[in-house]
């Protein structure tokens, strides 16, 4: 095979580069995926902005940790996996060792050997899916998509899996008569709204600074939309008869949104911060409701990804996708930084 286009991180604190590199060949145990689409996640902007040394990754590597496509070539030793060439697949993003107790239960997001691995997954230290083809190290990291179109399914593996994991652990709190808040209705947040509506009876309240994002939230099923700001927590208390929300999912993670989260949470609630904006939440008597629990979850497990795909196959969740050409990756990241993407942008190779 010949060359392909790839979007590579070549320097810290610089935009990525669109370059030509050889099409890789799958080694023993590996699978070569023909990429249908790769989601453009806000985490990549953090990765690009953080100074050298923050992450243990060697440069360059191909970006794209939210990837879907078709099995193109099964590497030696993978023919017994049940996968066939042409199958539509989703790439599970956090690549662990595959063997430790966390990986054994499918929680490769919390692989116990992560510090030794140097890369968190394809697109995060190892070559990812913003290319025409991508190597996946093992068939275990591929989830069959069945009839779902891989061009628009890519966001399921991060924008949906991350809030799915975050919401699922709080479902026992979301009984009838309760409310859940989603702060930041971007790629993750618009899926979080849909997931909350699909999984439970709680009223869903969406918060964002941008009115078009609140429109997207309403379209995704939010019961109430509240503009972000200092009075957002009070608005949420009014909407919940003064009780507050049993789950606040902060998909931004800035000082301001965490303050809103603390102000909007009920007693015995979960304040779950998935956004990585680097904010701080004071944790002491008087700053949080009684028995509120604060947690920072990372991504989700392989079994949970299969559950997310099942929800999408049943038509219960559907990513709102903007298709952009792979060649326009740098421009698409710029649009994301400026808040000008609705839902999730997916980069699609030509042909
Ligand atoms: P995005 O850019 O698509 O969406 C962010 C949304 O937040 C936008 O709608 C924006 O208008 C809104 N927003 C920004 N500032 C706000 C504020 N002060 N108040 C209310 N709304 C505000 O981003 P995304 O791809 O959905 O990612 C969201 C965050 O989640 C990022 O920090 C990303 O790094 C992080 N992330 C974490 C994990 C994890 O496992 N913990 C996984 C994926 C992404
Ligand atoms: Zn991501
Ligand atoms: Zn492991």
What residue ranges of the chain have pLDDT lower than 70?
1
What is the predicted pLDDT for the residue at 287? 95
Name residues whose C-beta falls within 8 Å of residue 29's C-beta, 6 or more positions apart in sequence: 75, 76, 77, 78, 137, 138
Name the residue with the closest Cα to ligand 1, atom 10. 184
Q: Which atom of ligand 1 is nearest to the CA of 274?
A: 41
Supply the residue whose CA is at minimum distance from atom 39 of ligand 1.
298
| CB neighbour burial string for 308-327, b if at least 16 within 10 angstroms, e if fewer | bbebbeeeebbbbbeebebe
Q: Is 97 exposed, middle or buried (0-12, 13-18, 19+ CB in 10 A)?
A: middle
Nearest-atom number in ligand 1 for the CA of 189 is: 26
Alpha-carbon dihedral 50, 278, 206, 272, rounded to 10 degrees: 120
How far is ligand 3, taken at its centre, from the CA of residue 310, in Å? 25
Give the model's pLDDT for residue 1: 58
User: What is the residue with the minimal CA distance to atom 4 of ligand 1?
Assistant: 186
Contacts of 217 (CB under 8 A, 6+ apart): 182, 185, 189, 190, 193, 206, 208, 225
Q: What pLDDT does residue 222 have?
A: 98
pLDDT attached to residue 155 = 98
| Closest C-alpha to 254, from 289, 284, 229 | 229
Name the residue of 38, 39, 43, 255 whose CB sits within 8 Å of the most ligand 1 atoms, as the mutation to test its pocket. Answer: 43
Percent of the chain with pLDDT over 90: 99
Give the closest residue to 273 by CA, choosing from 281, 263, 283, 282. Answer: 281
Query: Does 160 sit in the ligand 1 pocket, CB within 6 Å?
Result: no
pLDDT at 289: 97
Query: What is the DSSP code (8-state) at residue 2?
Result: -
* Whether the model pTM is above 0.95: yes
Cis amide bond preceding 60, omega within 30: yes
Domains, the chain, with CATH or none: 3-157+300-348 (3.90.180.10), 161-295 (3.40.50.720)
- Which numbered ligand comes closest to the C-alpha of 117? 3
According to the model, what pLDDT value does residue 33 have? 98
């Amino acid at each position: 095979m010949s060359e392909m286009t790839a979007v590579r991180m070549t320097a810290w604190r610089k935009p990525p580069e669109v370059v030509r590199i050889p099409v890789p060949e799958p080694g023993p145990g590996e699978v070569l995926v023909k990429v249908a689409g790769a989601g453009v996640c806000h985490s990549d902007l953090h990765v690009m902005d953080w100074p050298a040394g923050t992450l243990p990754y060697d440069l360059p590597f191909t970006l794209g940790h939210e990837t879907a496509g078709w099995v193109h070539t099964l590497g030696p030793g993978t023919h017994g996996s049940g996968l066939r060439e042409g199958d539509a697949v989703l790439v599970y993003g956090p690549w662990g060792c595959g063997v430790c107790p966390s990986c054994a239960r499918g929680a490769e997001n919390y692989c116990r050997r992560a510090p030794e691995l140097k890369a968190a997954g394809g697109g995060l230290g190892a070559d990812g899916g913003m290319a025409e083809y991508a190597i996946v190290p093992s068939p275990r990291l591929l989830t069959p998509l069945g009839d779902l179109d891989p061009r628009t399914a890519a966001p399921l593996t991060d924008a949906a899996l991350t809030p799915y994991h975050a919401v699922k652990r709080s479902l026992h709190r979301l009984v009838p008569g309760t409310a859940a808040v989603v702060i930041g209705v971007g790629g993750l947040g618009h899926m979080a709204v849909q997931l909350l509506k699909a999984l439970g009876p709680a009223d869903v309240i969406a918060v964002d600074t941008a009115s078009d994002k609140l429109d997207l939230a309403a379209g995704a099923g939010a019961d109430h939309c509240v503009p972000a700001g200092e009075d957002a927590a009070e608005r949420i208390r009014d909407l919940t008869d003064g009780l507050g929300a049993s789950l606040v999912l902060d998909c931004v993670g800035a000082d301001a949104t965490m303050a809103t989260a603390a102000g909007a949470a009920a007693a015995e609630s979960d304040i779950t911060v998935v956004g990585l904006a680097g904010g701080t939440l004071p944790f002491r008597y008087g700053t949080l409701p009684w028995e509120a629990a604060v947690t920072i979850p990372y991504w989700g497990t392989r079994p949970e990804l299969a559950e997310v795909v099942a929800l999408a196959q049943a038509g219960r969740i559907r990513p709102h996708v903007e298709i952009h050409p792979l060649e326009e990756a740098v421009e698409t990241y710029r649009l994301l930084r400026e808040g000008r993407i609705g839902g999730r942008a997916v980069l699609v190779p030509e042909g």
